Amino acid sequence: MPVVLRDVRHSARGRDWFAHAQTLWLSEMGASADDLASVVSRAAALLSESDREILSIERDDQSVGFVVLQRQVTRESTSLYLLLEFYVIPEYRALGVGAAAARLLFDRFEGRWEVRSLSSDARAIAFWRRVTSRYAPGAVDERRERGEVVQRFLSKGAR
């Protein structure tokens, strides 16, 4: 079945999944017990931000990940999307779910994009290089900034 993106704000199930998935993601990132204890309030804070889009990644009608992005309007009145969080549960990572979700995301939100990965996260850097180079061949600007690898490009509808 195809991968779909759904706004988690529209259902209690979506909001509950997002809070649960935040625990999975933070645990995988090595979060402290205090960070894990504050997951519900962290998720609620993210859900209340009006400049954020929070989407579940679904496959076969099952939530398997989430996306948090922030929309900014530039001086030129164009949209700039900052990918803040992107998570796919481990058992779905080698199935192309993340790449499919990323393509849907970039197509859904037209404008300039910025994807950041920690310089120490080789797996994330390799994933985003593969995804963005296929999505915007020859049009991805990649730089290292303050301990991160930053990729910038225009989504298809904005080119």
Mean pLDDT confidence for 89-115: 94
Answer yes or no: are the C-beta atoms of 156 and 107 closer than 8 Å.
yes
Q: Which amino acid is at 108?
A: R
Q: Residue 159: pLDDT above 60?
A: no
Report the residue count for the chain. Answer: 159
- Report the half-sphere exposure of 126 (CA within 13 A, side-chain side): 4
Residue 136 — pLDDT band, cuts 50, 70, 90? very high
Q: Residue 4: pLDDT above 90?
A: yes
CATH architecture of residue range(s) 3-158: 3-Layer(aba) Sandwich (3.40)
Q: What residues have CB less than 8 Å from 81, skipping those under 6 apart?
A: 69, 70, 71, 72, 109, 111, 112, 113, 114, 155
Cα torsion 123, 6, 76, 48: sign: negative
What pLDDT is stored for residue 158 in this prediction? 57
C-alpha 88/C-alpha 100 separation (Å) is 11
Q: Given the DSSP bridges, would you call strands 112-118 and 148-154 parallel, antiparallel or unpaired? A: antiparallel
Mean residue pLDDT of the chain comes to 89
Q: What is the pLDDT of residues 27-79, one digit of tens each?
A: 777 767 777 677 777 788 888 888 899 999 999 989 999 999 999 887 777 78
What pLDDT is stored for residue 1 in this prediction? 67
What pLDDT is stored for residue 146 in this prediction? 92
Percent of the chain with pLDDT over 90: 62
What are the helix and strand counts (H, E) for the chain? 5, 7
Answer yes or no: are the C-beta atoms of 57 and 101 closer than 8 Å.
yes
The encoded tokens of residue 13 equal 């199930």
What pLDDT is stored for residue 114 in this prediction? 96
Mean pLDDT confidence for 7-11: 91
What pLDDT is stored for residue 45 in this prediction? 82
Q: Cα angle at 30 between 34 and 118, to 5 degrees?
A: 120
What pLDDT is stored for residue 97 in this prediction? 96
Q: What residues have CB less than 8 Å from 47, skipping those under 6 apart?
A: 8, 9, 15, 18, 54
